[in-house]
Amino acid sequence: MIRNKHILLAFRLIVGGVFIWAGILKIIDPLGFAQSVANYRIFPSALSFFLALVMPWMEVVCGAFLVFGIFRRASSFLFSGLLGAFLVLVAVTILRGIDVDCGCFGSLSLKVDYKLILTDSVLLFFSLNVFFYRR
């Protein structure tokens, strides 16, 4: 794990910033995000709408906490869990042959493919480093 506090600060700012940006774009278009969640064909429609209303606000609040260093471990733990679950969801979607946009960044979302797995793996690496860092 990385121990340099300046690199860890950069990791915090990157992960927190990405989640704030993604959350704001989802808050702007909750129905579009609900449809993106439904497109994965894993969750019932009621759960898709619930996730579309709750998850973006959680991303923005926890992203802000991470950027400002408030509840740093809890926020990085939550983001690590979300990223891990999303990586599994993306892998399953690829294996099932479903062609969808990830829904992460509203209309700017990427296709679900191996590049998305790589990007989210890097974010997970950053987030786990922040979580495991002890002062």
Tens of pLDDT, residues 43-80 = 898 898 999 999 999 999 999 999 999 999 999 999 99
The predicted model gives 9-32 an average pLDDT of 95
Q: Where are the domains of the chain?
A: 5-129
Q: How does pLDDT run across 76-114, given as a tens digit for each residue?
A: 999 999 999 999 999 999 999 988 888 888 777 778 889
Residue with tokens 């700017």: 108
Residue 126 near residue 133 (C-beta atoms within 8 A): no
Residue 87 near residue 121 (C-beta atoms within 8 A): yes
Predicted local confidence at residue 106, as pLDDT? 74
The predicted model gives 114-132 an average pLDDT of 95
pTM of the model: 0.91
State how far the Cα of 43 lies from the Cα of 1, in Å rounded to an integer: 35
Predicted local confidence at residue 101, as pLDDT? 87
Lowest model confidence (mean pLDDT) among 25-34, 77-86, 122-131: 25-34
Predicted local confidence at residue 65, as pLDDT? 97
Count of other CB atoms within 10 angstroms of residue 96 = 10
Phi-psi region of 71 (alpha: psi -120 to 50; beta: other; left: phi over 0): left
Predicted local confidence at residue 88, as pLDDT? 95
